[in-house]
Amino acid sequence: MKLKLLFVYFLLSVSIANALYIEGQTNKISICPTCFYHLACTGSMEPALKCHDTYFSFVPADEKDIKIGDIIWFHARFEKKYVEAKFVKMINSTTALYDERNVTDVTYKYIVHRVVEIKNNTYTTKGDANNYNDTFDTKFKDIRLKILE
């Protein structure tokens, strides 16, 4: 009986996903059954989104599709700046000459967080379980999906 019920659930899920895909070609609606687990299973969006949740999402057409309170999946840019010093030579017994240069390491991550503020086409986000807003700003071009709760 459990196997039969599981099979019916599977067929129903595939049918709904196909219908949404075909119907939503203009809005690019998609179903993503395990993406949240693979993308960001950190607990930062609990209780709204949990690991292994199934959720519906769509690609926003323009800035009007994103509002405060929306959950978005976006590409975040992180910069780490530091000064790199390379030993050149000893000038005397107590003084060394170094060649210094400013270095910026850039990494990118995909993040799922909620929009908490919008100013000048820039989105400030925060995980529901986090105490503070994210320290980086997000532009519309970085938003990949809007998650429907």
The total domain count for the chain is: 1
Residue 69, in any domain of the structure: yes
Q: What is the DSSP string of 64-125?
A: GG--TT-EEEEEEEEEEEEEEEEEEEESSSS-EEEEEEEEEEEEEEEEEEEEEEEETTEEEE
Residue 57, in any domain of the structure: no
Residue range 4-54, pLDDT digits in tens: 555 555 545 654 554 444 344 444 445 554 444 344 577 888 888 877 667
pLDDT mean across residues, the chain? 77
Angle, vertex CA 56, rays to CA 50 and CA 59, nearest 5: 120
Burial of 102 per CB tally in 10 Å (0-12, 13-18, 19+)? exposed
Token pair in block for residue 91:
């000038």
Number of CB atoms found within 10 A of residue 92's CB: 6
C-alpha neighbours within 13 Å on the C-beta side of residue 93: 0
**Structural domain boundaries, residue 83:** 62-148
Residue 54, in any domain of the structure: no
Residue 74, in any domain of the structure: yes
Residue 31, in any domain of the structure: no
Residue 140, in any domain of the structure: yes
Residue range 139-148, pLDDT digits in tens: 999 998 888 8
Q: Count how many residues are written for the chain.
A: 149
* Better-predicted residue by pLDDT, 91 or 30: 91
The per-residue pLDDT for 32 is: 54
| pTM for this model (two decimals) | 0.63
The per-residue pLDDT for 63 is: 92
The per-residue pLDDT for 132 is: 94
Residue 13, in any domain of the structure: no
Residue 119, in any domain of the structure: yes
**Element counts in the chain: helices (H) and strands (E):** 2, 7
Provide φ and ψ at 145, rounded to 5°: -145, 155
